[in-house]
Amino acid sequence: MLLACLAAGSCVLDGAGIRDAAKSAGFGPKEVTAPDFVAQSRRGGGDFLPVGVSAPPRETRAKSAAGVKALEAELDASRQRNEAKGRDAAKVGGAVKPPAPPKVPPAE
């Protein structure tokens, strides 16, 4: 009895033996294949690059200094518009009075 417990205890450390036995007996999770639209949308060769291999060069180039300045100006203008909308919403929200508490009839 003690020998069986020790043998089972050594398998529990990583659980691989018990997991494999349960899977072969039909108690494990069922393998599910990807739907067709998922399989078709995946690109081939989606593995990781091996160590020491450089990634291929990017197709898009970095923005020029003028492009960065234009993007910053666009983002600043968008931030200012959003802040103005927030101030307007706060004014409208401050003008609305909260509803009165409900009238509770006296207890009998």
pLDDT in tens, the chain (108 residues): 655 555 555 545 566 777 788 778 878 777 788 888 888 887 776 677 778 888 888 888 888 999 999 999 999 999 999 999 999 999 888 888 888 899 998 887
CA distance 31 to 7: 30
3-state SS assignment for residue 103: coil
User: What global pTM score does this model have?
Assistant: 0.37
CA distance 87 to 93: 10
